[in-house]
Structure 1
Amino acid sequence: MRGFFGSVFRGGGSGKEDTRYGIVDQMWADFFGGFATSKTGISVNWKSALSVTTVLACCRVRADGLATVPWKIYQRTEKSVNGKTVVDRKEARDLPLYDLLATAPNEWMTSLEFRETQSFHVDLGGNAYAFLNKVRGEIVEMILLDPGRVKGKTNPDYSRVYTLTGLDGSTQTVSSDVIWHVKGPSWDTIEGLNIVRYAAEAIGLALATEESHARFHRNGARPSGVLSADGSIGEPGLIKLAAWVRRHFGGAENTGKIMVVDRGAKFTPVSMTGVDSQHIETRKFQVERICEVLRVMPIMIGFSGDKNATFASAEQMFIAHLVHCVRPIHRRFGGSADLFLLKKEQRQQGFYTGFVDADFLSPAIKDKGEYNQKALGNSSAGWVTPNEVRAWDELPPITGGDRLYVPANMVALDETGKPILLTPPAGPTQTTPSGE
């Protein structure tokens, strides 16, 4: 399979008809569809969009939310205990796919790097593609592909094939069982929407305002004030006056000095104009618009606007970011991995992928401690065992740590859910004389 994949990029095209999807056609596709020209006249694509700091910051925040938490494969099992069904879960470390997801999908990328790039592809192009190198039907390697070099096609029977274009223009068409396709929000359920293209106006205006601001500072002259005098001074006099002003009033050590000049000279400070103020407000407005498109709280990229967030409100914003931004990303990638990476019979056996969302609580020791106490049964019936809590921090299990507890002095529950009561030690029974 490695040789097959390598032929895609070494000129393994299989016919003249396939070359119609080569570099020339790709160039025209990019010319007409790959770039969106905004009303500002600026062409917007993934590369120009990343030059907008807001887009770059939002994509990095989203990628961090996907890539910096552990991603594991679990197996859910059921067993009958005293006539009741008990659900159990364990990590499926024996599956070769476990190491590919959790550690290294290929020889040159870590799991974090792989998912980080996937996130950028989905956010800026709508689709992320990975080639699944299989040996005897088992995935042994996952290789990310440039979305611009992958062209999907749906057959009349709704089966999918993908045409991969190599660097030399050669092509190879492969079936969908060797492609992991993660798509963003979709209209036709087949391809993800190109968010950059649909947000071209917001991104284009941000590019235009940034460019105009840069040109202003490069070409414009904005003194701090104007010193005018009666009569003509001449160029030699202007040079001497400018040197005199710099020597006596320039620098922090001369701040606050009183300027005494002759010939009726007057100093008029130059303040910010309304146009300048509106220009800055436009740039702030575009930051918020781009954050809306990428579903990132502005505070997550260090932008608070005119709102002074308190610690309590900032904490709620972080929680909102986890709920409304990070969790949907986890569900999107987790569901896609279950569908494309796990076999149907494996899913039927209870295998599934899962992100360790509780890892987000690691930096907040106080919140983490309170959550663990409640989960163990500090104020109500516990829903996790001590060993499960220890597993969150990669700690080894302890003896007797697989039981649930209720808050009646932390009594352990047996497999049927009944409290395990301690039996008093056997001994002689003392009786009280009837006369006493």
Structure 2
Amino acid sequence: MKGFFGSLFSGGGERKEESRYGLVDQMWADFFGGFATSKTGISVNWKSALSVTTVLACCRVRADGLATVPWKLYQRTEKSVNGKTVVDRREARDQPLYDLLATAPNEWMTSLEFRETQSFHVDLAGRSYAFLNKVRGEIVEMILLDPARVAWKVNADYSRTYTLRGIDGTTETVPGDQIWHVKGPSWDTQEGLNVVRYAAEAIGLALATEESHAMFHRNGARPSGVLSTDGAIGEAGLVKLAAWVRRHFGGAENTGKIMVVDRAAKFSPIQMTGVDSQHVETRKFQVERICEVLRVMPIMIGFSGDKNATFASAEQMFLAHLVHCIRPIHRRFGGSGDLFLLKKEQRQKGYYTGFVDADFLSPAMKDKGEYNSTALGKSSPGWLTPNEIRGFDELPPVTGGDRLYVPANMVAIDENGKPILLTPPATPALPPPGE
């Protein structure tokens, strides 16, 4: 097994891309998540898709939303207080899985790097695979695998087995409980849809327009204007005239200067044609199409199109991005982690994984302050204690900070939800007059 994983991850650098020709090679390419040919004639796979800046930017935004938020292991417990059931939650730091999720899943990757790569795999291949190295039934290490090197099948008893293919062609089959399989949106409930394949036309057109635009600038001659004179001046005269124009009228410092020439010379500027303008519009349209596929708002990748967002509208767009793009990603990975990384007995004991979504408020101090004030009980009964709020910023707890508050003068409430009335110290009676 150790030798196989050595062949799976060895190579020492970027390996040469294998050539794929003929029906058999095409079949294997499709089997291992290969490429799709768009109507433009351009082959689209994950590597060519990433060469489109819009795809790269969208995948990075989605990966940042998944990887930069803390992911922790919690345990929810219930206890009875005065005949009532009280739900409590704690960070399960005593469990080995806690450190794997929050800090380092293996010896060479941080939690951020691990989840970042997972996000790219799910978005561009439709699935992500991680080998779960277990010792006496407990996960001690998680190793990401190239999706193209993993194949799986469903057995007669509905269990799964995964076949891993090494660089040297050797294979190893492992049971399903040793693979963490995260899949994207699915049709058959077994495998995630390959977004690159289904969006091949949009990505292929973006590649084609970008390539044609690049070749236009490489091979085309597009001066800013034409300076013509009466009569022939010869090649030497043309070189001399061109040098004179560059010296006296070229560069930003000469912008707006009046050009005076002899021999009835005329300068005719060259404007962008309608075809050029439409070409640019096509490239802009493809940005929006790709953003639609990956569910990323164009403003999140720095593209505003023809609309300039105001501060208020941009704020709502950022909020919509968190609600409709990032939160579904958190729920997908959180649910998959609960299913594949936790045993059923652990889930029954209240263990679950959770993303600290409140971390998104950290850069917005005003919004964060308003949220914390409301959660503490500014205008309605609070649902967070001062120590829980301090925990968002990794601050230590304070004495007496584990109670909830109600708005009336911000008094603490007991386990039954009743205010705790503090009895003022008794005032000593004054002695009678004359004593």
Superposition TM-score tier, normalisation by shorter sequence = over 0.9
- 1:244-393 matches, within 5 Å, as 244-393=244-393
The answer for unaligned runs of 5 or more in structure 1 is 12-22, 431-436
Question: How much is the aligned-residue C-alpha RMSD, in angstroms?
Answer: 1.8
Determine helix, strand or coil for the equivalent of 1:193: coil
Q: What is the one-letter code of the residue matched to 1:346?
A: Q
Judged with a 3 Å threshold, the aligned counterparts in structure 2 of structure 1 residues 31 and 178 are, in CA distance, closer, same or farther, namely: closer
> How many Å separate the matches in 2 of 1:72 and 1:366?
26
Query: CA, structure 1 residues 312+5, in 2 after alignment: closer, same or farther (shift >3 Å)?
Result: farther
Q: What TM-score does the superposition give when structure 2 sets the normalisation length?
A: 0.92
Report the CA distance shift for 1:75/1:320 in structure 2 as closer, same or farther (over 3 A). same
Q: How does 1:84-123 map to 2 (within 5 A)?
A: 84-123=84-123
Q: Is the 8 A contact 1:164 1:171 kept in 2?
A: yes
Q: Residue 409 of structure 2: SS of its match in structure 1?
A: coil
Q: Does 1:36 align with 2:36?
A: yes
Per-residue CA deviation, residues 343-368 of structure 1 (Å, 9 max, x unaligned), is 00000000000000000100111110
Q: For 2:180 and 2:87, locate their aligned partners in 1 and report how far apart those are by CA, in whole Å.
A: 30
- The CA deviation at 1:422 is 1.6
Contact 1:9 1:167 in 2 (8 A): no
Residue in structure 1 matched with residue 230 of structure 2 by the alignment? 230
Distance 2:403 2:250 in 1: 75
CA offset at residue 28 of structure 1?
4.0
C-alpha distance in structure 1 between counterparts of 2:213 and 2:63, whole Å:
29
Q: Does 1:160 align with 2:160?
A: yes
Q: Distance in 1 between matches of 2:218 and 2:206?
A: 18
1:409 counterpart SS class: helix
The CA distance in 1 between the partners of 2:388 and 2:117, in whole Å, is 31
Q: Relative to 1, partners in 2 of residues 1:395 and 1:248: Cα closer, same or farther, differing over 3 Å? A: closer
In structure 2, how many angstroms separate the alpha carbons of the residues matched to 1:60 and 1:44? 19
Residue 190 of structure 1: SS of its match in structure 2? coil
Contact 2:4 2:171 in 1 (8 A): no
- What is the Cα deviation at residue 397 of structure 1? 1.0
Code of the residue aligned with 1:30 in structure 2: it is A
For residue 251 of structure 2, what is the amino acid of its counterpart?
G
Deviation at 1:428, TM superposition (A): 7.0
Look up the match of 2:47.
Answer: 47
What is the deviation of 1:10? 4.0
* Stretches of structure 2 lacking an aligned partner (at least 5 in a row): 9-19, 431-435
Is the 8 Å Cα contact of residues 100 and 141 (structure 1) preserved in structure 2?
yes
Partner amino acid, structure 2, of 1:7: F
Preserved CA contact (<8 Å) 2:63 2:120: yes
Q: Distance in 1 between matches of 2:379 and 2:424?
A: 27
Distance 1:239 1:347 in 2: 81
Q: Does 1:421 align with 2:421?
A: yes
CA distance in 1, matches of 2:360, 2:60: 16
Measured after TM superposition, the shift of residue 260 of structure 1 is: 2.3
**Which stretch of structure 1 is more off in the superposition, 252-261 or 99-108?**
252-261
The answer (yes or no) to whether the contact 1:8–1:171 under 8 Å persists in 2 is no
Distance 1:171 1:26, change over 3 A: farther
- Name the amino acid aligned to 2:141: E
- CA–CA separation in structure 2 for the residues paired with 1:27 and 1:130: 26
Q: CA deviation at 1:425?
A: 3.5
User: What is the Cα deviation at residue 113 of structure 1?
Assistant: 0.4
Distance 1:91 1:252 in 2: 61
List aligned pairs for 1:173-252, cutoff 5 A: 173-252=173-252
SS of the residue 2:285 aligns to: helix
- CA deviation map 1:172-212 (0-9, x unaligned): 11110000000000000010000000000110011001101
The residue number in structure 1 matching 2:149 is: 149
| Letter aligned with residue 144 of structure 1 | L
Cα displacement (A) at 1:231: 2.6
Amino acid at match of 2:4: S
Q: Which amino acid aligns with 2:298?
A: P
Give the match's secondary structure for 2:328: helix
Distance 1:26 1:407, change over 3 A: farther
Quick one: percent identity of the two aligned structures? 84
- Tell me: CA distance 1:356–1:349, structure 2 relative to 1, closer, same or farther (3 Å): same
**For residues 31 and 72 of structure 1, what CA distance do their matches in structure 2 show?**
37
3-state DSSP class of the match of 2:408?
Answer: coil
Tell me the distance in 2 between the aligned counterparts of 1:206 and 1:255. Answer: 35
In structure 2, what is the Cα distance between the partners aligned to 1:88 and 1:326? 27
Which residue number in structure 1 is paired with residue 172 of structure 2? 172
Residue 140 of structure 1 aligns to a residue whose secondary structure is strand
- Give 1:398 shift: 1.1
Find the aligned partners of 2:130 and 2:85 in 1 and give their Cα distance: 39
Comparing 198-207 and 258-267, the one that deviates more: 258-267
Offset at 1:243?
2.4
How much has 1:266 moved relative to structure 2? Answer: 1.1
What is the alpha-carbon distance in structure 1 between the residues aligned to residue 180 and residue 30 of structure 2? 27
How many correspondences in the alignment?
A: 416
